Amino acid sequence: MSVRQVVLAVVFALVVGSGCTVRVGDEDPVDPVFGTGTTVRWDLTRPLEAKPLGLPDNEMDILDVPDNATVSLQLPTGTWSGRTEQMTVITRHGYVDSVDLFWTEANGQAAEDRMVADAGLLGVDAARVAQWAETAKWAETADLNETRHKDNFNGSNGRVSTAIKPSMAVGEGEGTPVRLWYVFYLRHVVEQTNVKPMK
């Protein structure tokens, strides 16, 4: 037996005896946006370059979102902040083009409460959003061919265009969870700040 084989055998025996685990190869990659933390803070009032954020160019990147993640986004008239279960970023020509956030609210009323609370900052029609709880009650017991009921509320905060898109399963009964999708479009921010325009 060679010296190398003896050393490996000793190391293996020590590891097994101590109950440790040996990892072979590279460790799990760390998401470039969240890093090792659970919070992202971005200023959407100015163009965000993709490369410094660790994002690829000209593609959609689905981020590895940690548990209990929160995202804070600076908008022209204030800061939106909330939890997220999924975050998708689309880049174009070296800049962030849009930020998409997804999470689930317990039911239609909870979803309406959250959307109404955010409507003013996102520049969305609060009166339209305030009807979502009734829409959700209808969808809970509706007998339709569609499997999900979706809606779309568009708005804007300065040069940042926004959208709130709730969706839920149809006919699943009282208390059906609602999936919220918030979108922040940054194309006008890039184009109107003397940065190479996105085409």
Q: Is residue 68 part of a domain?
A: yes
pLDDT of residue 3 exceeding 70: no
pLDDT for 30 equals 64
pLDDT of residue 172 exceeding 90: yes
pLDDT for 29 equals 59
Q: Is residue 66 part of a domain?
A: yes
Q: Is residue 158 part of a domain?
A: yes
Look at 12-16, 86-90, 91-95, 98-102 and tell me which has the smallest mean pLDDT. 12-16
Q: Is residue 6 part of a domain?
A: no
Dihedral of alpha carbons 78, 80, 151, 129, sign: negative
What's the gap between Cα 93 and its chain centre? 21
- Please check whether residue 109 is in contact with residue 134, taking contact to mean a CB–CB distance below 8 angstroms: no
Q: Is residue 196 part of a domain?
A: no
Q: Is residue 11 part of a domain?
A: no
Structural domain harbouring 75 = 31-191
Q: Is residue 174 part of a domain?
A: yes
The predicted model scores a pTM of: 0.81
**Mean pLDDT over each residue of the chain, to the nearest integer:** 85
Please list the residues that pair with 77 across neighbouring strands. Answer: none
More confident residue, 74 or 16: 74
Q: What span, in angstroms and rounded, lies between the C-alpha atoms of 143 and 26?
A: 51
- Please check whether residue 123 is in contact with residue 156, taking contact to mean a CB–CB distance below 8 angstroms: yes
Task: Render pLDDT for 6-26 as a digit per residue (tens, 0 to 9).
Answer: 444 544 444 344 443 333 444
pLDDT for 18 equals 40
Look at 86-95, 137-146, 147-156, 181-190 and tell me which has the smallest mean pLDDT. 137-146
| Burial status of residue 18 (CB atoms within 10 A of its CB: 0-12, 13-18, 19 or more) | exposed
Closest to 53 measured CA to CA, from 41, 70, 66, 71: 41
Q: Is residue 21 part of a domain?
A: no
Report the C-alpha dihedral over residues 165, 168, 171, 173, rounded to 10 degrees.
-120
Closest to 79 measured CA to CA, from 36, 39, 111: 39
pLDDT for 146 equals 81
Domain total of the chain = 1
pLDDT of residue 90 exceeding 90: yes
User: What's the CA angle centered on 166, arms 164 and 168, to 5 degrees?
Assistant: 170
User: What's the CA angle centered on 17, arms 12 and 20, to 5 degrees?
Assistant: 75
